[in-house]
Amino acid sequence: MGWIRFMALAAWLAVPLPGWGQPSPAVPADGAGETIVVGGDHYHPPYEFLDEDGEPAGYNVELTRAIAEVMGIEVRIELKPWSEVRRGLEQGEIDILQGMSYSEARSERFDFAPPHAIVHQSIFARRGDPVVEVEELRGKEVIVQRGDIMHDYLVENDIDAVAIPVDTHADALRALAAGQHDYALVANLPALYLSRELGLTNLVPVARPFALRYGYAVRQGDANLLAKFSEGLAILKNTGRHQAIYDKWLGPLESREGIPWQKIGQVGAALSALLLLILGAIVIWNRMLKREVAARTAELRQHQQQLIQADKMASLGVLVSGVAHEINNPSSLLLLNLPVLRDAYADAEPILEAHYRAHGDFPFGGLPYSRMREEIPGMIDDMHEGARRIKRIVGDLKDFARQGGDEQAESFDLNAVVATAVRLVDNSIRQATSRFETQYASDLPALSGNAQRIEQVVINLVLNACQALEQPAQGIRLTTRHDRAQGRVELEVCDQGRGIAPDAMHRLTDPFFTTRRECGGTGLGLSVSAGIVSEHQGSLTFDSHPGQGTRVTLSLPAATPTAAPSVSAGRQQEPDTP
């Protein structure tokens, strides 16, 4: 079951390559303008609760609002006693619950989104009481939250314990701390949180028998609403925003040892005061020496910046090399084994189908087989594409960190380099546009440098042009020419895509800057390209207006007359339309 959950989570990681264009406008969700009523428990911290002002707060609440933001939907969050909101979902008064633990019994009445957390259920006892497991609760008085998953479990299974239902986890813990009943069967993190908040120091968890998937739930059949929240959750996971929300609310509680924030604050204040004193002394010392070093300040400052940059790039190269080695090993293992798993499932599928036809639907990895048989091939393919993307990103990082100037210069023809790059990205071109043209000049002189690295620049420019298009009818044109007056050879890449916003133009070649962060862009493609072009004494210029496309011009100096001409120099090629 853990393997299936791993694949379900990993399926959300497949994302497109980075581009330079602005993000496409959001598509309105079905039922745009309607307010979706989202229900939750009014006192289940840190997942969901009403704060001091009576406003919804907590991990679930912030996650729901983030999903509403990225999906462009309106939500109204209602937090009430758990038994009421669960009944409200069943009766159609509430559209979706933002936090419900999954069980097979519940799946017969509700549909569940992929989980956004794993909730551990614990048996709490008074300090000094014996450790017990679930089977040892027979005949014991066990406090549970009314309508909670553990209440359902005690009722639906032959545990033979006396269930004592209460409205909230806090009520369960207070009663247990006061000496009432024997044990409390509650969620671990909320119980730890409430124990600290309420000062219930005589309670301890004595067992953690269950780890349950926890996520959004709707009435059976409401697939459209569930799909919106599943898609929004996938976007948040892909962009890292889900992890940030999780760490904010749940991270501190997952460590058994509390963090001594007060002591850290005191130490920080003392260090800050010490630093202020040191900075003050440095300022006074600098003023005293200012006249003596005035003549050399500019020279030393420039030299210092060069040393810092050289050291930074050297450190980055070492770091990236090590990280690349560590990442490439497991990603290579994934790339090797995932096709084997795909073939293994394909071999097992006839057996599973025969069992399905003979005996009907059956559980498969915690979900119905009729659903999983459609999902598993896509999961494996998406994981395989994700592993391949990891290798590409590592390659970009290595190129960004690499110092230029070590390669031996060679004579090459820009037409031949462009033609090779076009062949390498032919599939991406065909998927993006039905109008692709190339115009190769016949009088190009040879260039001097590293043909493979210039080819990498051309590939980045063409892929960015493809990703800027909004429909296949929009075109891309590549043109080479010789500027004899300037002694330069140029490549012009024009697309009819969405264009670039004016405030982003000056940052296009900055490392890690991208307008497609939500689609998985890393912002390294143009930065790496600009570095390669600079090493070849060339330039990249951009001309773009939103909605009117983009023109990028790559300009490189022609080789000196003594350089040997390229074998394919001056080759004329007809326009291609992949």
CB distance 65 to 264 below 8 Å: no
CB count in 10 Å sphere of residue 239: 17
Residue 541 lies in a domain: yes
pLDDT in tens, 222-257: 999 999 999 999 999 999 999 999 988 887 766 543
- Please, which pLDDT band fits residue 464 given cuts at 50, 70 and 90? confident
Residue 367 lies in a domain: yes
Q: Please give the Cα distance from 541 to 557 (Å, whole number).
A: 15
Say whether both 384 and 304 belong to one domain. yes
- Please, which pLDDT band fits residue 515 given cuts at 50, 70 and 90? low
Residue 275 lies in a domain: no
Pair of tokens at residue 347: 């071999």
Give the percent of the chain with pLDDT over 90: 35
Say whether both 132 and 249 belong to one domain. no
Pair of tokens at residue 227: 């799909």
- CATH code for position 539: 3.30.565.10
Q: Please give the Cα distance from 122 to 286 (Å, whole number).
A: 61
Residue 273 lies in a domain: no
Residue 512 lies in a domain: yes
- Please, which pLDDT band fits residue 300 given cuts at 50, 70 and 90? low
The answer to whether residue 271 scores a pLDDT higher than 90 is no
Burial status of residue 12 (CB atoms within 10 A of its CB: 0-12, 13-18, 19 or more): buried
Q: Which is more confident, 392 or 112? A: 112
Phi and psi angles of residue 111, each rounded to the nearest 5 degrees, phi first: -105, 140
Paired with 540 in beta bridges are 554
pLDDT value of residue 567: 39
CB distance 19 to 516 below 8 Å: yes
Q: Which of 254, 287, 310 is the last residue of a domain?
A: 254
Say whether both 390 and 419 belong to one domain. no
Q: Which of 348, 383, 401 is the last residue of a domain?
A: 401
The dihedral region occupied by 223, where left means phi > 0, alpha psi between -120 and 50, and beta the remainder, is alpha
Say whether both 80 and 218 belong to one domain. yes
pLDDT value of residue 30: 46
Say whether both 88 and 113 belong to one domain. yes
Paired with 214 in beta bridges are 101, 117
pLDDT value of residue 553: 94
Q: Please give the Cα distance from 254 to 271 (Å, whole number).
A: 29
Is the pTM higher than 0.75?
no
Residue 263 lies in a domain: no
Say whether both 36 and 161 belong to one domain. no
Say whether both 47 and 156 belong to one domain. no
Residue 219 lies in a domain: yes
Q: Please give the Cα distance from 26 to 570 (Å, whole number).
A: 46
Residue 188 lies in a domain: yes
Phi and psi angles of residue 18, each rounded to the nearest 5 degrees, phi first: -70, 145
Say whether both 197 and 217 belong to one domain. no
Q: How far is CA 503 from the centre of its chain?
A: 25
Q: How far is CA 280 from the centre of its chain?
A: 43
CB distance 413 to 449 below 8 Å: no
Say whether both 424 and 541 belong to one domain. yes
Say whether both 150 and 86 belong to one domain. no
Say whether both 513 and 552 belong to one domain. yes
Q: Which of 401, 424, 452 is the last residue of a domain?
A: 401
Phi and psi angles of residue 178, each rounded to the nearest 5 degrees, phi first: -80, 0
- Across 434-498, where does the E strand assignment appear? 435-439, 447-449, 475-483, 488-495
In DSSP notation, 57-83 reads: ESHHHHHHHHHHHHHT-EEEEEEE-HH
Give the percent of the chain with pLDDT over 70: 78
Q: Which residues contact residue 4 at a Cβ distance below 8 angstroms, ignoring those fewer than 6 apart?
A: 365, 366, 367, 372
- CATH code for position 230: 3.40.190.10
CB distance 559 to 513 below 8 Å: no
The answer to whether residue 569 scores a pLDDT higher than 70 is no
Q: Please give the Cα distance from 18 to 546 (Å, whole number).
A: 18
CB distance 537 to 387 below 8 Å: no
pLDDT value of residue 332: 80
pLDDT in tens, 441-450: 988 999 988 8
Provide the residue type at 205 as one letter.
P
When divided into structural domains, the chain yields a total of: 4
- Please, which pLDDT band fits residue 451 given cuts at 50, 70 and 90? confident
- Across 60-202, where does the E strand assignment appear? 74-80, 96-101, 110-112, 117-126, 141-145, 162-166, 183-187
Q: Which residues contact residue 230 at a Cβ distance below 8 angstroms, ignoring those fewer than 6 apart?
A: 113, 114, 216
pLDDT in tens, 84-137: 999 999 999 999 999 999 999 899 999 999 999 999 999 999 998 888 888 888
Do the strands 183-187 and 74-80 form a parallel or antiparallel pair, or are they unpaired?
Answer: unpaired
DSSP state of 12: G
Say whether both 112 and 241 belong to one domain. yes
Question: H helices of 250-368, where?
Answer: 261-293, 297-359
Three-state secondary-structure class, residue 512: coil
233, 210, 89: which is closest to 149 by C-alpha? Answer: 210
In DSSP notation, 45-57 reads: TTTEEE-TTS-EE
Q: Please give the Cα distance from 120 to 209 (Å, whole number).
A: 8
Pair of tokens at residue 383: 């994981």
Domain encompassing residue 227: 2-118+213-254
